[in-house]
Every structure is written in C-alpha cells, then in structure tokens.
A and B are shown apart, each in its own frame.
Chain A
Amino acid sequence: MGKNIRLLQGNEACVEGALLAGVRFFGGYPITPSTEIAEGLARRLPLVDGTFVQMEDEIGSLAAVIGASVAGVKAMTATSGPGFSLMQEHIGYAYMAEAPCVVIDVQRGGPSTGLPTKVSQSDIMQAAYGTHGDYRAIVLSASSCEECLLYTIKAVNLSEKYRTPVVLLTDEVIGHMREKVEIPDPEELEIVDRVKPEVPPEWYKHFEITPTFISPMASFGDGYRFNITGLTHDEMGFPTAKPVQIKAKLDKLRKKIERNKEDICEIKTTYMDDEPHVVVLSTGIVSRAANQAVKMARQKRMKVGAIQLVTVWPFPDELIMQYMKSCRHLIVAELNQGQILKEIERYIDKRHTKIESLQRYDSELITPQDILQKVREVK
C-alpha cells in the first residue's frame, strides 16, 4: 500500500518526471507526437508556481527555455524531428552558454516532415552532432513509460550538474503507449540543483575553469550581474579573440563531459551474466523487442543476451566493451539506417566479434521475431 501507481502514456510520464525534477518552466510549440507533454505541463505548471508558454515556433521555444534557465528556473521543452531540427541553433547556444536545460525529442520518421505519427530512432546522430561546432552531448534514451519518468528526472539532474543541455530521446510508440508507472515519493528522489557561487559578486566568474570544469552558476537578479554570450568567451563571459582562452573554453565543454563519463553513462543488461556469445545491442523501444527475443531464445536454450543503451551519448563504449570479451556476434538493432552501428564499429575488434545489423526504417517496430530470426542466422 501507499505506492502511487498510475496508468500513464510515456508523454504523460515525462510530465510527471519533469515536475518531480523541479522543472518550473516549459516553452514549447505543438508537434506530433510530443504534444501531450506540452498539454500536460500547460495544465500542471501553473498549479506549482511554474509557467508554461506556448511560443511562436521551436526556435523561440528553446530560446525562452534558456532565458528562464539563466534567470534561475529549471526549464525544458519537448518536440519531435522537424522541431528538433529548428532547435539545433539554441542547443548550440546552450552548450556555449553552459545553460542547463532539457529537450525531450519524441522521435518520428524523417527526414523533413516524414512520418509524424510513426515510430523512428533516426535522431540519434542529430542529438549528438546536430548543431555546429565542437561540444560533447549528453543524450539519454527511454524504453518504457516508467523510464520516461525516471530519465526525465535524470536528464534534468545531469543538465543541472554539468551545466549543459541534455536531450532525452523517446519515440512515437513510447510517447503514446500506456503502462503502469509508479510515481515516486519526492522525498526519496535524488534531485540535483545547479551549484551556486559562494564568492562575492566581484570575484564571480560565470564560466570559471575549475578543476572539474564545472562552474558555479549565479542567476540573473541574484546580484552578480554577469554577461553571457554565444560568442566564444573568457571566464567572465566576455567575448574573446585570444587563442589561449578560446582553446580553454572548448576544452572545458569537452572535458566536463568526457571526464565524467563514468557518472553519466548507463546501460541495462538482460541475460548477460553467463557470457553469451550472441548479444543484441539496442536502445529505446527496440530494447523491448530485444529483451522479448532474448527471453524467447532462452526458453529454447539459446545463449543470447541483450544490452540496452540508457545513455546514448557520450557513447558508453567502456560499459559495452566489458561484455565483448565473450561476444562473438553482436546484433545491432535500431529503427534507422545504422546510426548506433556506425558508432559501435569504432570500438569493436571485428576479428573477435562479428557485427550484424538489423535495421527497420519502414515505420514499423523491429519485432522479437525479426531479432530471433537474426539470432538463428548467426548461430
């Protein structure tokens, strides 16, 4: 008793997660299949002293989100393919300005308008490399309604901790399907807030290069009166043309993520304890089919395991590689033309582990049968 369990759509679970994480601003623009997130927060935010603003487009949406964030409020938006493309400019700004914010991308088929009501995982590369310049992305991926709630919280926490935009990938199927979701007790949740400066305003540097590369963050109106710019800047936030300062800034953006990969990266495994020779690697909704297939294979006494990427970027290569010693066949299953495949290929010794790819981009899910068939082919 006492557990608060509800039947929620993935998009609705994102709403609950956002509120629990402390998000109090949402700026968004309607787009299928993400709109329920905006609708839910339009209803809920004013009840918790938050604000929902329906902006004029996705460019403005993320701009408003960053504006709210620098004014001290946890802020996010949600969108899908075309809107995510429009947001790239400001995702870049958020990297440069080191402004915490979360973008939930409920993936649909692309390119362009593509398939508004059909599932896809074709934004995996865009989520990491969509905006111009050098930076390191944090991108998470949810495979269930419960994970929509938990990883929205995780996304907000990571963005606050590392002062960086975080993208949460879901998709049309997860967004609209309903599952039982346990609404956690807020008391038991770990909620991360950005580190505030302890120094007086005259010593404050908004982009201070600290040993961890993460700078304490004051908000507008706190009495610190700093400058933020999308121009490459010094530690004070003023535009710079000095090569030393430029390099230091770009190193900071990379290192604060790279050096904390261990903290950021997470994978989930199914039937991986007995060193299976065949492993299915996937993320998001495809992991549901992979786990089902693995379960069915095990019932037929086939030694198969599955790895689900929870963190897609930074790519959790170390976590995956510890399972590759025993793996002879790695099946990479994804709803695109090989976006995870191309990344994992960089790490795998192909003399030892053969990589097989299983891709669907015809608007349908990869089924457990599709995966089982592939398993039989490689066995």
Chain B
Amino acid sequence: MSKNKNHQAQSDRYEIRLSGSGGQGLILAGVMLAEAMGVEDGKNVVQTQSYGPEARGGASRADVVVSSDTIYYPKPMGLDLLLALTQEACDTYFSALRENGILIIDSDLVHQPPTPDCYSFPFTMLAKNEIGHVMVANVISLGAIVEITRLASKDSIKTVVKSRAPVGTEEKNLKALELGFKIAKEKMKSTRTAAV
C-alpha cells in the first residue's frame, strides 16, 4: 500500500512513525517532535497514537504528520520515516514505509532489519551507558531523527525537550538529545565517506 504511486504526489506531507513497545516513551517523543515542528517552527502537525491496552506494554506507536500545507487526513498514508525500537515494531510497520522512506532502528533490539538500507544506532545501550538512564533512549532517537531529516530546527527541539521532560530530568534529556545529534552526524559522515 505504501508503495502506491498516489502517495508520491503528497510531497507537502511528511509522515513519521515512532514505534517500539509500551514504556519506551514513544508517545512523549512524538509529542515533542510535533510540538517542535508545529508550535516552534510554525508548520502544521498532527500527532496520533495507538491507544489502549498497548499503552501498558506490547507494541506502541506515535505517528506525526507534518506539512507546510493544511493537513486533512490525520493519519499516515505512507510513512516517510519509521523509527523502530523493537523487532516486533519493525516487522509490523516496515510495510507501511514508502519506497525511499527512511528506516531508523535500535541496533541492539532489532536483530533482523528488513533491509540493510537503514540507520542503525544502539539507542537503548547509549541511554544506559552514556546518560545513565534507559528511559532517555526516546530522546536520543529524537536527536538522531532531527539530525538526519532536519524536520525541526535544533533550537526548537531543544526548547521542547526541556519543557516537556519530566521535572528534574531536563539536563539528562538535553544531554541525550545532543548525543542523538552527534551519533547521527557521525553516521552520516561515515556513510558518505564509505560511498566515496
């Protein structure tokens, strides 16, 4: 369905899915991303989510549609970007990724990527080892997404992460965000070098 040519016309829309399991903070990450692009950067955004029993474990997802134009249909029709923090989420949602869409995975939690053509980062491991808290894997991945896509300005995402982070964890979250920027920058540099 995502490979349907119809969707190629929707160039004013960019559709993002952040997926994984309940408890990984993906809804919050989706809200942060939407707020940065929408409220801070002034684009139109819609953030939706899977809601219900999944919210307490199992597969979880947050979707964000962004456009400079009016967004009519609020849900993704063909993903431009899929973040998958679990194998299950990756398997479930990869088919919704359109051709040339970007796949970003957690290298430790997605053992069998459906395609070699993806960005792979050890988000959860970095959260634990570099920041000292596994909960910030979501924000590290946000940093990577912003670095790779430039969908939101860095200042905007910083502002939002600071204001939306649970009280007392602002510094940790900002550090995580910077780490996300950094690993993505390095990865893109090395990919380019490899290509040359």
Identify the A interface with B (CB < 8 A): 5-7, 33, 116-118, 172-173, 176-180, 285, 288-289, 291-292, 295-296, 299, 365, 367-369, 372
Give Cα A288–Cα B70 distance, bound, in whole angstroms. 10
- The 9 A-B residue pairs whose C-beta atoms are closest, nearest first, are A117-B52, A292-B73, A292-B72, A291-B72, A178-B47, A7-B35, A177-B48, A180-B38, A368-B73
Q: How far is the CB of A13 from chain B (nearest CB, A)?
A: 13
Interface residues of chain B: helix, strand, loop or mixed (majority) = mixed
Of all chain B residues, the one with the shortest Cβ separation from A291 is B72
Contact yes or no, B39 A5, CB < 8 A: yes
Contact yes or no, B73 A289, CB < 8 A: yes
Chain A to chain B contacts (Cβ below 8 Å), 17 pairs? A7-B45, A172-B51, A173-B75, A177-B46, A177-B74, A178-B45, A178-B47, A179-B38, A179-B44, A180-B38, A292-B72, A292-B73, A296-B6, A296-B9, A368-B77, A369-B77, A372-B6
Give Cα A372–Cα B4 distance, bound, in whole angstroms. 13
The interface residues of chain B lying within 8 Å CB-to-CB of A289 are: 72-73
Give Cα A367–Cα B2 distance, bound, in whole angstroms. 13
Q: Say if the beta carbon of B49 comes within 8 Å of chain A.
A: yes
Contact yes or no, B45 A179, CB < 8 A: yes
Q: Say if the beta carbon of B84 comes within 8 Å of chain A.
A: no
- Other 7 A-B pairs with CB < 8 A, given A7-B38, A179-B45: A173-B75, A176-B51, A178-B34, A178-B46, A178-B47, A178-B48, A368-B73
B75-105, CB < 8 A from A: 75, 77
The interface residues of chain B lying within 8 Å CB-to-CB of A117 are: 51-53
Give Cα A118–Cα B53 distance, bound, in whole angstroms. 11
The 8 Å CB contact of A6, one of B4, B39, B47, B52, is B39
Q: How far is the CB of B27 from chain A (nearest CB, A)?
A: 10
Q: Say if the beta carbon of B144 comes within 8 Å of chain A.
A: no
The interface residues of chain B lying within 8 Å CB-to-CB of A368 are: 72-73, 77
The 8 Å CB contact of B52, one of A116, A288, A369, is A116
Give Cα A173–Cα B65 distance, bound, in whole angstroms. 14
The interface residues of chain A lying within 8 Å CB-to-CB of B161 are: none
Q: Say if the beta carbon of B31 comes within 8 Å of chain A.
A: yes
The interface residues of chain B lying within 8 Å CB-to-CB of A173 are: 48, 74-75
Contact yes or no, B72 A176, CB < 8 A: no
